[in-house]
């Protein structure tokens, strides 16, 4: 897949990725800042700022005017905040690229941040926080990350807490924006039915006045664990939500490819070991899945399941038994071959969508500062051996590294700690 890259005078990197056989495009601006760039006093400011960009600009001052401009052309748009990135995107018909670019550049260069809108949005985010707390299937992953990383930015909530959100003031938001929303910390990608030359000219004009500078660096992770740990949150739910796993590899660690395939084999598809064992064979869960998550300098391997309350301990026991099995006996050549084919198939499907293509190129450029073609990434997956997978399983699935987060009507977390020996 061919792409072009230019760097504006302010340091912003611009990438265009023409795609055949599509009549739409995606414009994505990705910034290398998220909740890991915050201090505890302003925890949640990255996400708060993401919301506020849509609350009015100098040319679209009324609340709702930004969204109205995009709704009127049938465009999809949104923004997202992670621990190490924040993104703003629009997906629209190709001929609407000028308007999409105008809106995105407008919110990022000319936001108003009115005091009254900040107060309104504070209330909105309080409700968003309450919504997440009422979604145990989602919130249990947050608890797992807090258990892993503790009281440091990687372990804090992306959305913040009621206390930190209540403390945030306009000056905090403006100061955070000034120090992190700079050209050298931004990547803009346009993927889809786009003329590269025309797009680059328009982007140059739209973003030429974007701030220059270097962003403040996030603090390195403090990452050590000497014994297994459990976080149990009592809640009257209809099912018990479980995440079990351990630290793994960051995005620059070559072992991450083997960890990705291990996750696929254990719980990445409906024919995976845990899906078959826990759902198909025993009927203990509707959903069971595994994933290998990555940040710049850390990562983790986890398995999620939603199970009957009275079967929670049995499910935890069976998951850790599978951890021990793959650690001690590895995987078969057939399993690895199927995992590679599955990953390649899913990756190929994703590259048919302009929003996924934009995300792929933006992420590669933002964090790795190089773009390898998708084919090269597929080849790296192909190079993983059976021995590589067993080696990472032996490294990850050690008793002292195990962590378990649970939400459900349970008491006495020590009973669960005893289940983590592998």
* Nearest by Cα to 90 from 102, 75, 105: 75
Residue 50 annotated among the catalytic residues of the structure: yes
The span from the CA of 45 to the CA of 312, in Å, is 36
The span from the CA of 118 to the CA of 175, in Å, is 15
Return the exposure string of 142-181: e unless at least 16 CB atoms fall within 10 Å of the residue's CB, then b.
bbbbbbbbeeebbbbbbbbeeebbeebeeebbeebbebbb
Contact 26, 190 (CB under 8 A): yes
Contact 95, 75 (CB under 8 A): no
Q: What is the DSSP letter of 364?
A: I
Among 50, 145, 157, 277, the one annotated catalytic: 50
Q: Two tokens at 137?
A: 């299937």
Indicate the Cα dihedral angle 186, 187, 188, 194, nearest 10°: 170
The span from the CA of 281 to the CA of 248, in Å, is 29
The span from the CA of 281 to the CA of 183, in Å, is 53
Q: Which amino acids are annotated catalytic?
A: 50
């Amino acid at each position: 897949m061919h792409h072009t890259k230019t760097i504006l005078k302010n340091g912003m990197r611009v990438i265009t990725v023409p795609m055949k056989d599509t009549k739409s495009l995606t414009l994505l601006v990705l910034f290398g800042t998220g909740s890991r760039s915050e201090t505890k006093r302003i925890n949640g400011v990255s996400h708060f700022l993401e919301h506020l960009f849509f609350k009015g600009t100098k040319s679209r001052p009324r609340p709702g005017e930004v969204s109205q401009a995009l709704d009127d052309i049938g465009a999809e748009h949104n923004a997202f905040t992670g621990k190490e990135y924040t993104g703003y995107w629009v997906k629209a018909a190709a001929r609407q690229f000028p308007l999409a670019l105008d809106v995105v550049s407008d919110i990022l260069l000319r936001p108003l941040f009115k005091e009254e809108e900040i107060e309104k949005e504070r209330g909105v985010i309080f409700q968003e926080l309450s919504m997440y707390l009422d979604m145990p299937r989602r919130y249990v992953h947050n608890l797992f990350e807090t258990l892993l990383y503790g009281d440091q930015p990687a372990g804090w909530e992306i959305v913040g807490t009621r206390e930190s959100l209540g403390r945030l003031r306009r000056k905090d938001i403006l100061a955070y924006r000034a120090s992190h929303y700079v050209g050298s910390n931004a990547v803009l990608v346009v993927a889809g039915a786009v003329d590269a030359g025309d797009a680059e000219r328009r982007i140059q004009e739209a973003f030429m006045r974007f701030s220059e500078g270097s962003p403040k660096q996030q603090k390195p992770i403090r990452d050590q664990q000497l014994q297994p740990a459990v976080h149990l949150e009592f809640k009257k739910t209809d099912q018990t939500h479980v995440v079990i796993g351990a630290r793994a590899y960051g995005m620059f660690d070559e072992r991450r490819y083997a960890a990705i395939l291990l996750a696929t084999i254990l719980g990445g598809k409906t024919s995976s070991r845990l899906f078959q064992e826990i759902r198909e064979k025993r009927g203990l869960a509707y959903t069971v899945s595994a994933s290998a998550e990555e940040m710049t300098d850390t990562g983790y391997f986890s398995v999620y399941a939603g199970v009957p309350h009275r079967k929670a301990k049995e499910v935890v026991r069976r998951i850790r038994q599978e951890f021990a099995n793959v650690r001690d006996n590895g995987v078969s050549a057939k399993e690895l071959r199927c995992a590679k084919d599955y990953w390649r198939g899913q990756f190929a499907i994703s590259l048919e969508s302009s929003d996924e293509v934009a995300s792929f190129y933006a992420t590669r450029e933002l964090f790795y500062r190089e773009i390898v073609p998708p084919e090269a990434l597929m080849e790296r997956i192909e190079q993983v051996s059976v021995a590589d997978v067993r080696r990472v399983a032996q490294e990850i699935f050690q008793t002292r590294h195990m962590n378990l987060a649970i939400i459900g009507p349970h008491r006495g977390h020590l009973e669960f700690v005893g289940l983590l020996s592998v």
